[in-house]
Chain A
Amino acid sequence: MEQNNFKETVLRISGVNPKKCMRCGKCSGACPNYDEMEFHPHQFVSMVENGEIEKLMTSPSVYKCLTCFACVERCPRQVEPAKLIEAVRLCVIRQAGQNHLKPDQIPEMLDEDLPQQAIVSAFRKFTK
């Protein structure tokens, strides 16, 4: 039941229909960060469709996606895997106490050249 709820949420907030996927794997062929991920873009699509959301939610892969949209741009069937990955990550960080990045971690990460943009973006991606 829980699982179905997550699947529903992921589908709703991503606006993606994983059934459109024809399993060509072009997303994973395009992904620049493929080697850093446990689950790869094409797996996100099929695992969301199979309702295996929790497996994805506990994987560090959700924080490795660069949201560079290469998979979205090149998908021949307009499935938009990056939107699914984002939605799975949101399912995690929207839960109480699940922020991936905490403000008190920031100071040690800073260096003097680091642009604000990086901190702002990371906050938007990793916290709620």
Chain B
Amino acid sequence: MQVEKNFEPTVVAFCCNWCSYAGADLSGNNRIQYPANVKIIRIPCSCRLNPMFILRAFQRGADGVILCGCHPGDCHYTSGNYFARRRMTLLFSMLSFLGIEKERCRVEWVSAAEGAKFAATMNDFVATITRLGENKKLEDLRCKK
């Protein structure tokens, strides 16, 4: 029997510059560990996230994508995270329509003061994705090296 290699998922995290990216920095400042599978992309606000970016990530082989923004009501740009929330709700229904496990994509609100929450969220998300296994449905094999 072939021994399966430990599955190390690729996880993309989009973080808004003002809250969640700072929250991620804070978890670094406090040396709170979370898996290296998570790679963060900085965007000015969660409302900058075009759902296309998420689909692109899945197409390119990401196993999970998470969007982190300021808590509702705390957006640096007043209302951006409300837009993000609505857009993500639409994306979730589309993903479930496509038969993609909805757990592969997540939205979390993490403030600049919540370093511990950021790390906990990432630990949990990576554990979820590891359990789900590889994203095979949306990955575009043509994009593979």
Q: Do chains A and B touch in the complex (CB under 8 A)?
A: no
Residues of B within 8 A of A (CB): none
**Chain A residues with a Cβ under 8 A of chain B:** none
